[in-house]
């Protein structure tokens, strides 16, 4: 097995990007982002490469996110140039994937969160297996749904994007297809054959594998879609919380408790940027996200959230201010200019 954390190879008709940092669940560090960008640029005008396939060497994770631990270290050391470089290159990669002139095919079999969604969702084809788990969990670390999610989430139906982006709800593979984050459901057992078929037939292999697979399992969120649309369609964050409190269901009580555990400030800025993204192009949304990272990574909740969820893993963050009601709307508005 290669030691490289991204292995780029040409196999038959495809360029294959293999995420290979299994101990970190393929969390993207700057070197991996650069390796992905370089390989994509090299294959762009290579006539031997018909399509690009991004895949993982781990059976636990496609990609758990960005290297948020390193970002926190830079932020605490006030090395904001390093923070800026990371997000600027990550978001440029997300934009390059969306604009790629050849089919870009992600094989998602395992955890796919945050930055992992950023290197899959912008591609034309996103295959998910029954072991895929998709989420945008950034409000738990006082970030916000970035990597172009401020463009993608407001375009999902039934206010699902606002729900997913604020609560960080995890969706299994079939649910991700129903929600629109993935395009095809293929059982894990059929992935080896699909990988071979892709090298032989290119993008056309995907439809065959998805048809050969079992019927798409039902959407587990279907019973909650009316409540999601009612509550997460509210015109302000406090009103989302009020509507959830008025619902009188176990789902609403659990959802409210989840939101109450997230950074109150991050809920406020995430609500605002997801709403605003509805009216932006992807390049505009990515540029807006980069500007917001400059404020977010300087906010004390960010270092505290990454400490609690990723570094110490005590899952007991101490948010400041501690409630949504205590967040100053003017401070949030000032971050969004
Ligand atoms: C929320 C998040 C992230 C998270 C945990 C959360 C996130 C992220 C990681 C992560 C996972 C594994 C690693 C790593 C980072 O965890 O965005 O370096 O090895 O990247 O609760 O948003």
Domain ranges of the chain: 1-337
C-beta of 88 in contact with ligand 1 (< 6 A): no
Beta strands at 14-19 and 6-11: parallel, antiparallel or unpaired: antiparallel
Query: What CATH code would you report for 1-337?
Result: 3.90.226.10
Is the peptide bond prior to 246 cis by the omega test (within 30 degrees of 0)? no
pLDDT tens digit at each of 337 positions of the chain: 558 999 999 999 999 999 999 999 999 999 999 999 999 999 999 999 999 999 999 999 999 999 999 999 999 999 999 999 999 999 999 999 999 999 999 999 999 999 999 999 999 999 999 999 999 999 999 999 999 999 999 999 999 999 999 999 999 999 999 999 999 999 999 999 999 999 999 999 999 888 665 589 999 999 999 999 999 999 999 999 999 999 999 999 999 999 999 999 999 999 999 999 999 999 999 999 999 999 999 999 999 999 999 999 999 999 999 999 999 999 999 999 7
C-beta of 140 in contact with ligand 1 (< 6 A): yes
Question: Whose CA is closest to atom 9 on ligand 1?
Answer: 65
Output Rg (C-alpha) for the chain, integer angstroms: 19
Which residue do the tokens 């501690």 mark? 322
Spatial contact of 54 and 19, defined as CB atoms under 8 Å apart: yes
Centroid of ligand 1 to alpha carbon of 144 (angstroms):
12
Centroid of ligand 1 to alpha carbon of 26 (angstroms):
10
- Can 146 be counted among the known catalytic residues? yes
Spatial contact of 292 and 273, defined as CB atoms under 8 Å apart: yes
Supply the pTM of this predicted model.
0.97
Catalytic residue among 138, 203, 289, 301: 138
Centroid of ligand 1 to alpha carbon of 272 (angstroms):
22
Sign of the CA dihedral running 155, 157, 162, 165: negative
C-beta of 65 in contact with ligand 1 (< 6 A): yes
Spatial contact of 24 and 76, defined as CB atoms under 8 Å apart: no
């Amino acid at each position: 097995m290669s030691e490289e954390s991204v292995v780029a190879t040409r196999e038959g008709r495809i360029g294959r990007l293999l995420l290979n940092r299994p101990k970190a669940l393929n969390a993207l560090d700057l070197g991996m982002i650069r390796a992905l960008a370089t390989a994509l640029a090299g294959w762009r005008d290579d006539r031997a490469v018909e399509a690009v396939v991004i895949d993982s060497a781990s059976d636990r994770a496609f990609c758990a996110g960005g290297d948020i631990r390193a970002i926190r270290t830079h932020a605490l050391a006030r090395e904001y140039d390093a923070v800026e470089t990371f997000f600027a290159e990550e978001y440029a990669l997300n934009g390059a994937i969306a604009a790629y002139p050849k089919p870009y095919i992600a094989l998602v079999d395992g955890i796919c969160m945050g930055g992992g969604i950023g290197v899959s969702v912008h591609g034309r084809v996103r295959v998910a297996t029954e072991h895929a788990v998709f989420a945008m969990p950034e409000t738990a670390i006082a970030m916000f749904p970035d990597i172009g999610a401020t463009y993608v989430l407001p375009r999902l139906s039934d206010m699902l994007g606002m729900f997913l982006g604020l609560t960080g709800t995890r969706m299994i593979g079939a649910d991700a297809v129903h929600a629109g984050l993935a395009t095809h459901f293929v059982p894990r057992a059929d992935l080896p054959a699909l990988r071979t078929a892709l090298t032989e037939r290119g993008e056309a292999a995907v439809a065959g594998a998805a048809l050969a697979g079992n019927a798409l399992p039902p959407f587990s969120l279907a019973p909650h879609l009316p409540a999601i649309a009612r509550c997460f369609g509210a015109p302000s964050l406090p009103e989302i919380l009020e509507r959830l409190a008025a619902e009188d269901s176990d789902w609403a009580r659990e959802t409210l408790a989840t939101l109450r555990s997230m950074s109150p400030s991050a809920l406020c800025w995430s609500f605002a940027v997801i709403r605003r993204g509805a009216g932006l192009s992807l390049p505009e949304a990515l540029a807006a996200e980069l500007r917001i990272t400059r404020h977010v990574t300087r906010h004390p909740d960010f270092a505290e959230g990454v400490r609690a969820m990723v570094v110490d893993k005590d899952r007991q963050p101490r948010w400041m201010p501690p409630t949504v009601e205590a967040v100053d709307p003017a401070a949030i508005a000032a971050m969004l200019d």
